[in-house]
Amino acid sequence: MKKLKFISLLGLMVILTLSLIACETSAKEVSVALYYYNSNLDKDESGNILCSEKGLIPVERKIKDSENLIEDTIKLLLEGKLTDEEKSKGISTEYPLEGFKLTKSELKDGVLTLYFEDLYSKTSGGACRVKILWMQIENTARQFSEVKEVKFYPEELFQP
């Protein structure tokens, strides 16, 4: 009899373990948009690049739903992973930037404050470049209905 109880307890442990693994792997995924840039869509009649939102292109990604979905989405944008197909369509990004990362985010009363570390001042440069880098993050964040305004910290980021 004792052997039978041991086997049945072991079987129960195996079933519980398998159930936990199944729950972890079936975490709900949601679709999010990462805003990258296509300079071909952002030109005036003379072919000059405008550095405007006209060049921003939403690229759909699946991401695990979480309590920090906005922050996780921004971090995914900063990885800058584009597919070969997206690149062939003229979509580009300068992300990832060495030494640049999102350290935390706070959402209060519709204002999303994003805190970054920029060890090598990679967010500075020409006015056009920094505007595009900034717009990519802001537009990615604004897809979430609870975000009405986006602030960056430190405020010296994205300066020409």
- Quick check: 104 and 81 in contact, CB under 8 A? no
**Nearest CA among 92, 97, 90 for reference residue 125:** 97
Measured distance CA(16)–CA(41) in Å, rounded: 54
Element (H, E) at 68: none
Q: Rounded to 10 degrees, what is the CA torsion of 91, 142, 72, 26?
A: -90
Q: Give Cα 60 distance to the centre of its chain.
A: 11
The per-residue pLDDT for range 34-43, each reduced to its tens digit, is 999 999 999 9
Q: Residue range 110-124: average pLDDT?
A: 97
Q: Where are the domains of the chain?
A: 27-153
**Above 70 in pLDDT, residue 3?**
no
The per-residue pLDDT for range 5-58, each reduced to its tens digit, is 555 545 544 444 444 444 455 689 999 999 999 999 999 999 999 999 999 999
pTM recorded for the entire structure: 0.83
